[in-house]
Structure formats: C-alpha cells, structure tokens
Amino acid sequence: MLILGVETSCDETAAAIVENGTRIVSNIIASSQSLHAKYGGIIPDKAAREQLKSIIPVIYEALAAANLSPDSLDALAVTVGPGLIGSLLVGVETAKSLALAWNKPLIPVNHLIGHIYANWLGGQTPDLPALVLIVSGGHSELVLMKNHGQFKYLGGTRDDAAGECFDKCARLLNLGYPGGPAIEKAAVAGSIHLPRPLIHENNLDFSFSGLKTAVANIKAAEPSHVAFALQEAVSDVLVKKTIKAAAKHKVKSILLAGGVAANKHLREAMTEAVLHLGGKVSLSIPPFSLCTDNAAYIASAAYFNNHPTFPTKIDAAPDLAIK
C-alpha cells in the first residue's frame, strides 16, 4: 500500500511516499527555518506564506522522486494538528483538494502520533505496549501506546516544552536558532549545575520554564558550559520520568520521538538508563533525520491508523491533543 503523506504544521513543508508504513519511497522537505533564524523564532504568518509557495512543488517532487503518478497512490494522509493554524491550513486544504481531484481516500493524522511512527521507519518493529516520550518544539509528553490506534496521555509539561526551553535558552545565550542543535553544538563540560524541575515528584509531569530563568540568572559564565549543563538537566529529568513511567506501566519497549530526540546527549542518557533495566525493556530511537518534522512519519502513522475521512469533513485542528 502506497500512501502520500503531507506535513505543514510548523515551518517545514513536507511530502513523502511510504510503502506499507515502513519503507520510505521518497521524502521531500522544504524548510523556511533560515528565514526565521534572523528573528530568533518562528514568525507564524511568514511560515504560512512560505508553505503556500512550496506545497505544490514539494508534493510533485515527492511523486517525481518516487517515479510515480498520482494514479498509483492508494491514499493520501495529512497532518491536521496540532500546529500553527496558518501553516496547517495550507497542507490540509491542499490535501483535501488533491484527494478529491485524484479520487483517493484521505487519512487525517495527529502530528504527535505521527512523530511516534518515525520508530517504524528505521528498519525495526518496536514491541508493544510501549512507553513513548514525545519531545518536540511545542510538546513534551509521556504517552502509553498499547497498540496501534490506542494511545493514552500519561503526563506532560506544565509550561515550556523541552525543545522550547532549548530554543529560548539558546536565544539568551546568543547561540542562534533553532536552539536545540545550537545548544548541542556549543556544549562543553564545565562546573555549572542547573536544577532538575519535578524530578523527584510523584507524577509524570515536566516543567522547564524555571530552567530558562535559571539560565537567565547565571552571570559571567561560559555559554558553552551553560549549554552543557542545560542539556544534562533536561535529559536527566526526561530520562528519569520516562523510566518511572515505563516501570509503572510494565511496557515492553520505550520509544523516543520528536525533534529533541535528535539530541545525542539525550539518546545516550536514555540508552544507558534502559541498559540498567537489564534487558527487560527494549529502546527504539528514530534515525536522526526522521526525528524532526517530515511527512514520512505522517504516511506511516496513516498506514497503521487507517481511518479515511471524507475530505469536506476534515478541518485543521491547531489544538489537537492525545487524550
């Protein structure tokens, strides 16, 4: 089964064709990130305008790269939310029009659930039930995945997301945008220690906004040392809470998902923590390039959660959540 996925929730315009939810046939991404870099953050209406310019060329490039015509597709899939309303509308309305014109089913996809399926695109099949840590620019959530189509929200951030914390702190440290990769690149071990918010509390929630304040209050420190301490503090909290949730729900595996899952420090810290569980739980981490926004995981999520909806019944949903 060939699905064409479309993703436009933020500043990436992406289209990809995936076979049977696991094999990437083509994967095209146009990003307006460099345009936002000079402002130190995303300007929503500029992002939406760029989406509009790129969407049709990107979709046709995905078909051309796969050497396929629209006829050979079995379905289309599109991110309906969460995300920026202007950006989402471009992908949703385009996918609706194309599904009607090409006479193909259209499968609406939750962007956060999409992120999870990057774990099915790296050549492995994770064991279920799984405990998923979704860490992106807008979300930091722990989700129990009992099976395909069965997702339960267990806890999440009460304020800033992990990626947002990296982005805001990178800005304070003058390290550039997006902040996560900038912090990772700058990080050099020093002697700074930052707080680990909520780490010992008996819940599965996170809070990262205080770290931003802590970083702002550090005077006369090497930005590279602060970057290192920040990576350590964020990873430490994410890993501890994930392991706690995995034990509580007796899962077979732990999955990482979202842009922050590209962080090497987090990947290593999680790998080590899972090793300490003594082989009872396996760990799946998506390939680096599939952690940040793309349409391949949208097509994959649609394959495993195949609920086509008539195009005129689909609307962009900026606040869509996992319940």
Report what 178 binds from ligand KG4, Zn ion, none; CB cut-off 5-8 Å by kind.
Answer: ligand KG4
Q: Which residues contact ligand KG4 (rule: CB under 6 A)?
A: 10, 136-138, 163-164, 166-167, 178-181, 184, 258-260, 262-263, 292-293
Residue 232 binding result from Zn ion, ligand KG4, none, given CB thresholds of 5 to 8 Å by partner type:
none
Q: Retrieve residue 115's tokens.
A: 């992120």
Token representation of residue 49: 């305008």
Q: How far is the CB of 259 from ligand KG4 (least distance, A)?
A: 2
Rank residues 68 and 172 by Cβ distance to ligand KG4 and give the closer one: 172
| Residues 104/70, Cβ–Cβ less than 8 Å | yes
Residue 138's binding partner among Zn ion, ligand KG4, none (Cβ under 5 to 8 angstroms by kind) is: ligand KG4
Say if residue 306 is exposed, middle or buried (CB neighbours under 10 Å; 0-12, 13-18, 19+).
Answer: middle
Q: How far is the CB of 276 from Zn ion (least distance, A)?
A: 29
> How many residues does the structure list for the chain?
323
* Least distance to ligand KG4, CB of residue 97, Å: 24
Measure the CA–CA gap between 12 and 114, rounded to whole angstroms: 14
C-alpha pair distances (Å), 187 with each of 169, 198, 225, 232, 257 = 13, 24, 6, 10, 22
Site string for Zn ion, 244-283 (x = CB under 5 A): ----------------------------------------
Which of 235, 241, 299 shows the shortest CA–CA distance to 264? 235
Could you give the residue ranges of the DSSP H alpha helices within the chain?
Answer: 33-37, 44-66, 85-102, 111-116, 162-172, 179-186, 209-217, 223-249, 264-275, 288-291, 296-304
What residue is closest to ligand KG4 based on CB?
180
**Shortest CB 180 distance to Zn ion, Å:** 12
Q: Which amino acid is at 140?
A: S
- CB-nearer residue toward ligand KG4: 129 or 180: 180
For Zn ion, the closer of residues 215 and 294 by Cβ is 294
Is there binding between residue 160 and Zn ion (CB under 5 A)? no
Of 87-95, 211-219, 227-235, 290-298: span binding Zn ion (CB under 5 A)? 290-298
| Interface pattern 123-152 for Zn ion (x via CB under 5 A) | -------------x----------------
Q: Cβ contacts of residue 142 below 8 Å, gap of 6+?
A: 131, 132, 133, 134, 153, 154, 155, 156, 204, 241, 242, 245
What is the gyration radius of the CA atoms in the chain, in angstroms? 19
CB of 261 to Zn ion, least distance (A): 10
Phi, psi of 142 (to 5 degrees): -105, 125
Nearer to ligand KG4, 79 or 281 (CB): 79
Identity at 252, one-letter amino acid code: K
Among positions 134, 293, 295, 297, the unique one binding Zn ion when judged by CB under 5 A: 293
Residue closer to ligand KG4 (CB basis): 105 or 179: 179
263 binds, among Zn ion, ligand KG4, none (CB under 5 to 8 A by kind): ligand KG4
- Closer to ligand KG4 by Cβ: residue 8 or 253: 8
Instruction: Kindly list the residues in this chain that would bind Zn ion in the complex (CB under 5 A).
Output: 136, 293
